[in-house]
Amino acid sequence: MLGQPTDLRFGTLRFYSASVPSIDELEEIDCTAVEMALNSSFFIADSTETLPYHSFQMPAVPSLRNRGILSRKPADGGSFPDYDSWLLFTFFGNGCLKLEIPIEMCADVYGGALRGRENQEVTFWGVFVEDEFVS
């Protein structure tokens, strides 16, 4: 999806960073893309899709500030879903992170519609692990 083969499993996140020209092309902007696998569902997010109104960047140091990025399923033709699909990250020290996602994104994991729980969030905790590069 984002230029590399993927072998993602339940609860896997993958981050990519790049620099792209700004709208006026006078400077470069650091951007981040995210791939997320939840069971058989696959979501992508690209911080360039919400520029110039909202930017998402990985912090260089731990931060308790929530950072959000808008996500979607490539299987849905590239369109954003009808529900709120913002991923909210908090980057703690020692490689730990917290991810809050809308419960609607977990429908495939739970096996169907989640009536009565709309607009709730599910919290995942994780640790950064380097990818095993296979050539």
**Domain boundaries of the chain, sorted by first residue:** 12-127
Which pLDDT band, with edges at 50, 70 and 90, does 48 fall under?
A: confident
Predicted local distance difference test score (pLDDT) of residue 86: 92
User: Cα–Cα distance between 116 and 102 in angstroms, integer?
Assistant: 13
Please choose, from the candidates 114, 131, 105, 120, the residue with its C-alpha nearest in 3D space to the C-alpha of residue 41. 105
Residue pair 65/90 in contact (Cβ under 8 Å)? The answer is: yes
Whether pLDDT at 134 is above 70: no
Q: Phi/psi of residue 33, each to 5°?
A: -120, 150
Predicted local distance difference test score (pLDDT) of residue 68: 92
Whether pLDDT at 88 is above 90: yes
Predicted local distance difference test score (pLDDT) of residue 113: 65
Residue 102, token pair as written in the block = 């809308």
Predicted local distance difference test score (pLDDT) of residue 111: 66
Higher pLDDT, 116 or 64: 64
Whether pLDDT at 59 is above 80: yes
pTM of the shown model: 0.78
Which pLDDT band, with edges at 50, 70 and 90, does 8 fall under?
A: very low
User: Could you report the per-residue pLDDT of 102-130, keeping only the tens digit for each?
Assistant: 888 887 666 666 677 777 888 888 888 77
